[in-house]
Structure 1
Amino acid sequence: MRVTGDYIYESKNTHDAYMVAGAEDSRYAQFVSVPHARDCYDYSGWGNGAEKIYEAAVVGEGANGVKFSFECWPDALDNEYSIYAISCKHVFGCVSLKRKHYCILNKGYPKEEYERLVSQIKKDMERNPYRDPQGRIWSYGEFLPINLSLFAYNESLAHAYFPKTEKESLASGFKWHEFTATPYTATKQWVDMPDTLAETPDTILQEVIACASCGKAFCIVSGELALMKNLSIPLPRECPTCRHNARFVRTNPPRLYNRSCQKCSRPIQTSYAPERPEIIYCEECYKVEIA
């Protein structure tokens, strides 16, 4: 079945998706890395049997009917406007609950009373929506307002994919966090690192190494060294942040461009920007080309 997006695996009827596996009948899904996810819309992470998820993030493991929520799992059912609701069913506006049913603002109610109050709250949210400091309206049916986010913009994946300056972030209503790096004095320069694992003594674990790219200090921990020995891979010369950034720049961004097949001129969507040098074909022309 047809899909659109990038890094999509074993999915069908899924559109405008990014890094998803086993998605079905979904749209605007991203980082759904564990199959399966069905009937989801505007959903970020992570799948594993999730169904009917709408405007929610970090929800999965059997979750069903979760809307406008964050970190609700496993087997969450009918959660709305809730955060860290673990194995909860039929909760609204709850935070840090575990295995609770029919709760509003962390208070339990009989089923009929819960349903009556939730219906009343939704109507009131539509009549009296929240207005954020930028004047934007957030009524029922929208995700939690961005100025109430638990994280600053530059602490999120959004900043990696869609960079903003501090001024731009604050003007948009996001928070900003200034990181204070702990100063360390390097005891070994990257050029002095052993070339092979056979030449590497265990005392490397006590060294503070200067990164080859940014110069910041980093160290190698015992588990990391054991893994490198097991896989027979060389010691890193760069700090974890620089290594992550080097991997990140090799991935296509979560953006589609309207272009034309360079063989038949058919309109197509692709994650390859127009200024990139690669030759872009539609699916049919690509299959003919590689046959």
Structure 2
Amino acid sequence: MESKTPKFDSLLDEIFEELSPHTRPCKWSGEHKHCEGQFEITSEDIEFLKMLRVPAPNFCPTCRRMRRFLYMGMFQFFKHKCDVHGHKESMISTLPPERPFLVYDYKYFISEEFNAFTFGQEYDSNISPMETLFQLRKIFPMPSLTNRDPSSVNSDYSNGGRNLKNGYYAFGCYGSEDIWYSHMAGSSKEVMDSSFVYKSDYIYNGFHIDNSYKSSFIYFSKDCADSIFLFDYRNCIDCFGCVNMRNAKYCIWNQQVSKEDYENFMRINSPFSRDFLNESKEKFWQSVKSNPMNASRNTAVKNVTGVLLSNTKNIYDITQSENSEHIRHADGGLSNKDSMDFLYSGGHSELLYSTTNIGSQSSNVKFSISSKFCTNCEFIFNSKNLDNCFMCFGLQNKSYCILNKQYLPEKYFKILDEIKSDMMKRGEYGDGVEMQFSAMPYNFSLAQISFPLTDEEIKKLGGYIAKEPETNAGNAQFISTKDLPQVINKVSDDIINFGIKCEVTGRPFRIVESELQFLRKMKLPLPSTHPSLRLQQYLYMAPLGKRHQALCAKCGEAINSLFNPKDGYILYCEKCYQQEVY
């Protein structure tokens, strides 16, 4: 097939002719403590680079991850004024008041009132293409939220996701109802302080839970009900403080008891006091560490290097992916194939390179952020339903656009070839955008969870820092957690009028009425820590982009581990683990 960008393709082919496996220095070498310094370009990398039609990267895999992770926030909301001329109202935003760019209310941003073409610019060959892109970045507004379904109901404090009802501090949740302080709850109801919960109802403090009901403090479990403190459980009911059990009923601390003894134990301890749960939590995690665990948390995989993988094959250096194949150096893939260097890709996407939050049936997308339903696009941001677009912001349902201006196809490809060729000659093509492009502060991004930096390091690399969002407590009185009732049935309705001081940070937070009703149903005490800490606990438990090298404690095989061997876990390979628990 005849090339539509012959000049660029000729330059790239010349590079490929000379490209062979080698070691090269990272561009950020010596700039921060996480950089790998020297890194390899392998024959497998080259295979992908040729398939995706991009030159070899100049950053090591770790630094490339940092640059992608910077564009995803870590569960914070701010309130500040909308920057639309004439708008005086405050809006809910994932971006702080200190953000370097304009921010428009999300509903206005996606409405027909907003015309992204008014920011369009002509390509000037006398100016660096990346400088031109950055100039457009500086004047084009950011949406206050990212990819939120406008049809969601009563979910103003939510970001991402779709078809959500009654979501409060809900992130990436879909097809769900009554969700509080949770991330990635799908097809679920009544879920609080949880992450990656699917087809489950009445879940509190759950992590990677599937098809479960009315359970609290449960992790990596499936088909469970009416239980508390479970780790890696399958098809169990009425259990407390148990690890690695299958098809169990009426168990306490991994010991079988009678129905009468179990019910008596629950009757004595319910409603659960904060002290009882804290003591049980400590004992529970000691039990987790004293039992073997599936180090990688991988299931149904073939020829993989990574952790938290299911139904995947032929992938390398991946964390959290399912139903995917033939991908490298990526995190958070769902039904993805033939891609490299992406963070979060959902919904049957392919041929992605150097992207963050690109998904929903996208194909051949490179160097792009927070867009969906896009094909044959590069350097696109906060857009939807695009085909053949380059260096564009905030477009919807458009084709053949460059720098937010639309062209006829023939002229589009002519200008595209000129720009990409110019970028290649200037050494600007291949590594995506710099940290200065991000409206997200580094200290509130996923990058800070997996690759923490000091304030000085952040500024040196071109990022910025923001303050903690203020809690709007109004004229409410404050109460310390030590003065909170130990049990929920002693909490009065007027607690929603008080501000509670977090026992860790001292930062105040509020209890909303629906949250109070949920805790009463579950017979659980009021939380004692700020919601932001409760949300972040799972990011620290299984940080994206992080995998550890370990040896199986039973057979000695070298394995990838989600868990750090230094933390004292008994780590098994998948084969030995299956033999142990089944």
Question: For this structure pair, what is the TM-score category when the shorter chain's length is used for normalisation?
Answer: 0.7 to 0.9
Rounded to whole Å, the distance in 1 between the matches of 2:321 and 2:362 is 17
Q: Is the 8 A contact 1:6 1:254 kept in 2?
A: no
Q: 2:358 aligns with which of 43, 59, 65?
A: 59
Check the 8 A contact 2:307/2:560 in 1, yes or no: no
AA aligned to 2:335 is: H
Could you tell me how far apart the structure 2 residues matched to 1:201 and 1:171 are? 50
Between the aligned partners of 1:253 and 1:36, the Cα distance in structure 2 is 18
Distance 1:248 1:56, change over 3 A: closer
Partner of 1:121: 419
What is the distance in 1 between the residues matched to 2:570 and 2:482?
Answer: 39
The one-character-per-residue Cα deviations of 1:71-110 (angstroms, maximum 9, x if unpaired) are: 111x211110110121111100000111111100111111
Cα root mean square deviation, aligned: 2.4
Deviation, 1:41, is 1.0
Tell me, yes or no, if structure 1 residue 23 matches structure 2 residue 324: yes
Deviation at 1:255, TM superposition (A): 2.6
1:72 alignment partner in structure 2: 371
1:42 aligned residue: 341
Measured after TM superposition, the shift of residue 2 of structure 1 is 2.4
Name 1:220's counterpart in structure 2: 511
The offset of 1:236, in angstroms, is: 1.0
Aligned partner of 1:174 in structure 2 is 463
Query: 1:136 corresponds to which residue?
Result: none
Q: What SS is found at the alignment partner of 1:12?
A: strand
Look up the match of 1:88: 386
Corresponding residue SS for 1:175: coil
* Paired letter, 1:23: S
**CA distance change for structure 1 residues 192 and 282 in 2, over 3 Å: closer, same or farther?**
closer
Residue ranges of structure 1 left out of the alignment (5+ in a row)? 130-138
Alpha-carbon distance between aligned partners in 2 of 1:259 and 1:209, rounded to the nearest angstrom: 42
Instruction: Give the Å deviation of 1:290.
Output: 4.5
Aligned to 1:208: 499
**SS of structure 2 residue aligned to 1:170:** helix
Tell me if the contact between 1:66 and 1:78 (Cα under 8 Å) persists in the aligned partners. Answer: yes
AA aligned opposite 1:223: S
Shift in CA distance, 188/272, structure 1 to aligned 2, threshold 3 Å: closer
Q: Is the 8 A contact 1:26 1:38 kept in 2?
A: yes
Assess if the C-alpha contact under 8 Å between 1:17 and 1:28 holds in 2.
yes
Aligned mate of 2:431, from 142, 167, 175: 142
TM-superposed deviation, 1:256: 3.0
- Structure 1, residues 142-170: CA drift from partner, whole Å, max 9, x if none? 22112222222112110011111100111
Q: Which moved more, 1:38-47 or 1:280-289?
A: 280-289
After TM superposition, give the deviation of residue 181 of structure 1 in Å.
4.1
Q: Secondary structure at the match of 1:151?
A: coil
Q: Do the aligned residues in 1 keep the contact of 2:547 with 2:560 (CA within 8 Å)?
A: yes
The Cα shift of 1:281 comes to 3.7
Q: More deviation in 176-185 or 220-229?
A: 176-185
Of 409, 425, 436, the match for 1:111: 409
Give distance in 1, aligned partners of 2:365 and 2:328: 16
Secondary structure of the residue that 1:39 maps to in structure 2? strand
> Is residue 541 of structure 2 the alignment partner of residue 242 of structure 1?
no
Relative distance call for 1:273 and 1:99 in structure 2 (3 A) is: same
| Residues 128-154 of structure 1: per-residue CA shift (max 9 Å, x gap) | 24xxxxxxxxx2122211222222211
The 8 Å contact of residues 186 and 217 in structure 1, kept in 2 or not, is answered as no
Structure 2 partner of 1:135 = none
Structure 2 Cα separation of the partners of residues 271 and 194 of structure 1? 37
Question: Once superposed, which parts of structure 1, at least 4 consecutive aligned residues long, lie more than 6 Å away?
Answer: none
In 1, Cα distance between equivalents of 2:480 and 2:573: 49
Cα distance in 1 for partners of 2:550, 2:480 equals 47
Query: d(CA) in 2 for partners of 1:252 and 1:64?
Result: 27
Asked if 1:268 is matched to 2:559, the reply is yes
Q: Contact between 1:214 and 1:242, CA under 8 Å: does it hold in 2?
A: no
Higher relative contact order (CA 8 A, sep 6+): 2
Q: Which stretches in structure 2 are left out of the alignment for 5+ residues? A: 1-301
| Cα distance in 1, alignment partners of residues 493 and 558 from structure 2 | 58
For residue 235 of structure 1, report the CA deviation from its aligned partner.
Answer: 1.6
Pairing partner for 1:99 from 397, 419, 423: 397
The alignment partner of 1:140 has SS state of: coil
1:183-224 per-residue CA deviation (whole Å, 9 max, x = no partner) reads 967522222323333333321111111222222211111232
Amino acid at match of 1:51: E
Distance in 2 (alpha carbons) for counterparts of 1:179 and 1:56: 27
Amino acid at match of 1:197: I
Out of 565, 569, 581, which is 1:278 matched to? 569
**8 A contact 2:435–2:461 mirrored in 1:** no
AA in 1 matched with 2:414? R
- Equivalent pairs, count: 279
Higher strand fraction (1 or 2): 2
Identity %: 29
**TM-score after normalising by structure 1:** 0.85
The worse-fitting range, judged by mean Cα deviation, of 5-14 and 248-257 is 248-257
- The structure whose Rg is larger is 2
Task: Determine the structure 2 residue equivalent to 1:233.
Answer: 524
SS in structure 2 opposite 1:113?
Answer: helix
Provide the C-alpha distance between the structure 2 equivalents of 1:165 and 1:254, rounded to a whole number of angstroms.
19
